[in-house]
Amino acid sequence: MESFVWEWGSLLLRWLHIVAAMAWIGSSFFFMHLDTSLKRTPDIPVGEGAAAWQVHGGGFYEMRKYFVAPEHLSPDLTWHKWQAYTTWLSGFVLLAWIYYAQSRLTLIDPAVMDLSAPAASALGVGALALGWLIYDRICRSKLGESETGLAAVGLLAITLVAFGFSQVFSGRGALIHTGALMATWMAGNVFFIIIPNQRKIIAALLKGERPDPSLGKQAKQRSAQNNYLTLPVVLMMIANHYPMLFGSKATIPLIVALVTFSGAVIRFFYNVRHADHARSPWWAWAVASAGLAAAFVLALVGSAGGRSVLGLPPQAEGPPVTTLAAATPPDHVVELVAGRCAMCHAAEPVWDGIGVAPKGVRLDTAEAIGRQAEAIRLHVVLTHNMPPNNVTEMTDEERGVIAAWLENTAR
Ligand code: HEC
């Protein structure tokens, strides 16, 4: 019963988190687009504001932006902040739900560092808080004055963060924490900088004073940072479902750097394009593709490294899936899997906290194991994603036995 409650909690939290994130990122995209598409208009003095026209849902919108503030402010102001707060709060609870409450399965990999559950959670939360403080300092420093400089330092920081996390957490734990820190920067930018600055601007206006223009500029800097972080963050959030990305501790930081870079370059393309279609920087796609191709190669190298540790010959091309899919394993493989996997992957799992076979993958009969041959290759041989953090202490020799079965079947 308890495990069903955990599963439902996880489902509902994830639902909320995804919907809130869609609303937040949607508004971030919208306002970046709006800002870049603004054109001068005769009825707003030069340098004071601009306007853009849009058509949507059968009507026309004339959007006007006042760079500092209009003379008369409407009392009906829509604030855009709860999308960000809800995304961060639901994300944090989800992180705690999956990675802190069930850390033995998800966060702690004794082969990386044998942390206790409280230590692992404290390390995760502490890193998020410290990571925000350092990031905020960097943005306020001299470096923050140059947009390109800040982007370069940001990319370096993200790479170092991924490296740090990969030294203490499981691969998926490292990726989700890297993403969570980037998301904390984004939400922190809204909560600590953008919204407070907007409040100060409004307070000055109400007093009949001219607001300090640097407040608006600082808010704009952080909002642009958020915009560039959106695509990489979303990738980090789904990355933990793709063990190829964290097959090797050594390749994690570079893979993170490459996908972050590529995601930001794709955002750059759209930001320029929205300002002026004729100037669309098509080269950005070539650069982003090159970055992603490099990440792909690294992910391959990462798992090939795993193979050589096992003493297996490098495999240029996997054997045909069809042969493997129908391959019924010999008895010693069935026994091995029963001892290392079937306590979770069975019709009625006996592992504490597992209520149904995870992801519907059952490994309790020879036939069922045969059907999962390709998945077993991916999660046990090519990567060490299963058993999760090696909770059932599968040895390298045993992985070798499974690998040999898959090889033989292929021939
Ligand atoms: C302690 C419980 C446990 C043990 C033992 C275990 N698994 Fe899993 N397995 C899980 C969980 C939990 C998931 C779901 C992971 C997720 O949601 O990303 C999973 C997922 C999988 C998947 C599907 C992955 C996907 O993303 O589609 C495969 C295949 C798999 N396990 C194979 C194995 C094999 C083979 C073994 C034994 C060598 C094994 N597992 C041992 C808990 C376990």
- Token digits for 309? 């540790």
Output the CA 375–ligand 1 centroid distance in Å: 10
The predicted-structure confidence for 177-204, as pLDDT tens digits, reads as follows: 999 999 999 999 999 999 999 999 888 8
Given pLDDT bands bounded at 50, 70 and 90, which one contains residue 315?
A: very low
| Amino acid found at 362 | R
300 and 334 belong to one structural domain: no
Output the CA 385–ligand 1 centroid distance in Å: 8
250 and 380 belong to one structural domain: no
| Amino acid found at 320 | P
3-class DSSP state of 256: helix
Pocket flag, ligand 1, residue 69 (CB < 6 Å): no
Average pLDDT along the chain: 87
257 and 358 belong to one structural domain: no
Q: Name the least confident of 292-301, 310-319, 368-377.
A: 310-319
Higher pLDDT, 200 or 304: 200
Higher pLDDT, 409 or 143: 143
140 and 252 belong to one structural domain: yes
Pocket flag, ligand 1, residue 354 (CB < 6 Å): yes
The predicted-structure confidence for 319-378, as pLDDT tens digits, reads as follows: 333 333 447 889 999 999 999 999 999 988 888 888 778 877 889 999 889 888 878 888
Burial-class residue 117 by CB neighbours within 10 Å (0-12, 13-18, 19+): middle
Per the CB < 8 A criterion, the answer to whether 303 and 383 are in contact is: yes
| Alpha-helix runs per DSSP H in 79-212 | 82-95, 103-106, 117-140, 147-168, 171-188, 195-206
Q: Which of 310, 336, 359, 380 to mutate to test the pocket of ligand 1 (most atoms within 8 A of CB)?
A: 359
DSSP E strands in 272-396: the ranges are: none
The predicted-structure confidence for 31-86, as pLDDT tens digits, reads as follows: 888 988 898 888 888 888 899 999 999 999 999 998 777 777 788 888 889 999 99
Residue nearest to atom 36 of ligand 1 (CA): 341
> How many C-beta neighbours within 10 Å does residue 42 have?
7
Q: How many residues does the chain have?
A: 411
Per the CB < 8 A criterion, the answer to whether 183 and 84 are in contact is: no
Per the CB < 8 A criterion, the answer to whether 67 and 47 are in contact is: yes
Pocket flag, ligand 1, residue 244 (CB < 6 Å): no
- Asked if residue 145 belongs to a domain, the reply is yes
Name the β-bridge partners of 151.
none
Q: What pLDDT is recorded for position 3?
A: 62
> Which of 306, 332, 353 delimits the end of a domain?
306
Q: Which of 10, 361, 376, 406 to mutate to test the pocket of ligand 1 (most atoms within 8 A of CB)?
A: 361
Q: How many domains does the chain have?
A: 2
pTM of the predicted protein model: 0.79
Q: Is the pLDDT of residue 124 over 80?
A: yes
Per the CB < 8 A criterion, the answer to whether 387 and 340 are in contact is: yes
Q: Is the pLDDT of residue 138 over 80?
A: yes
Q: Which of 3, 344, 406 to mutate to test the pocket of ligand 1 (most atoms within 8 A of CB)?
A: 344
Q: How far apart are CA 266 and CA 263, in angstroms?
A: 5
278 and 396 belong to one structural domain: no
Q: How far apart are CA 316 and CA 304, in angstroms?
A: 10
> Which of 306, 335, 353 delimits the end of a domain?
306
Q: What pLDDT is recorded for position 163?
A: 97
- Asked if residue 109 belongs to a domain, the reply is yes
Q: What pLDDT is recorded for position 313?
A: 53
Q: What pLDDT is recorded for position 289?
A: 96
Per the CB < 8 A criterion, the answer to whether 68 and 216 are in contact is: yes
Pocket flag, ligand 1, residue 391 (CB < 6 Å): yes
- Domain coverage including residue 188: 2-306
Per the CB < 8 A criterion, the answer to whether 202 and 166 are in contact is: no
Residue 392 Cα: closest atom of ligand 1: 5
- Asked if residue 355 belongs to a domain, the reply is yes
Q: What pLDDT is recorded for position 77?
A: 85
Q: What pLDDT is recorded for position 367?
A: 86
